[in-house]
Structure 1
């Protein structure tokens, strides 16, 4: 697997809300925002959500998703954000689930009180835009090394 650039790792770590776009089998689009924790070792985002939600149901049937992580800057020169493609995977293996839960609960302890399924959003392609240093500075990454 291709190593994720440090600027992307740092950005994922310093944020905690992801916006995802999903699609039903009938082709209907749906988006949702979720708290996440970044799992650097596996280059994935861990989220908690139920298959009973629209986005959870869509991900269970159509795992290819797209998403963004961004702040809310007041100026175009301060825009920093990530766009990505990923595969949503509901974690059913006990060891994987426990490892992911440990990461998530460390970042979001209140989530221990919620009953929910644990998902990995396995990142395939990532584009990071950072206007703070140079306007429209882009960094690209893909799991297979092809940009």
Structure 2
């Protein structure tokens, strides 16, 4: 079932992410690249954003990826918990391979390492859920 979750994640391109920001939460959306071998997302964001500043005090994040549909039998989505950090040089290559035009903007790339995920796929069975946890 992890393979189906990875296939869904690779078929999408925008995630919503939430961070803890001074006793509150802050959410945002971002384009992402994904490495299924390490279950890691990569996004571009600058240091002066609220969500990146929040990482200074808490690197725990949560997020979702969802197929936009009103048809209940086609609903698919992922909810996840993760840690967010600056991407390595090799990880940056994954992001720029997916979004080569971003190279001209020279953005800072961040890695989001999934520790837990729940994949919902109503195409299989209504309410079908698969839980994955990093070992």
Q: TM-score range by the shorter chain?
A: over 0.9
Instruction: Give the Å deviation of 1:86.
Output: 0.2
Superposition RMSD on alpha carbons, in Å? 1.3
Name the count of aligned residue pairs: 135
Report if aligned partners of 1:60, 1:90 keep a CA contact under 8 Å in 2. no
- Is 1:108 aligned to 2:99, yes or no? yes
Deviation above 2 Å: which 4+ runs of structure 1?
none
- Structure 1: stretches of 5+ with no match in the other structure: none
* Matches of 1:115 and 1:61, distance apart in 2: 25
TM-score under structure 1 normalisation? Answer: 0.86
- The separation in 2 between residues aligned to 1:11 and 1:39, in whole angstroms, is 13
> Which one of 63, 71, 75 corresponds to residue 59 of structure 2?
63
Spell out the pairing of 1:41-120 with structure 2 (5 A cutoff): 41-91=37-87, 96=88, 98-120=89-111
Residue 58 of structure 1: how far off its partner (Å): 1.1
Distance 2:132 2:70 in 1: 27
Structure 2 unaligned spans of 5+: none
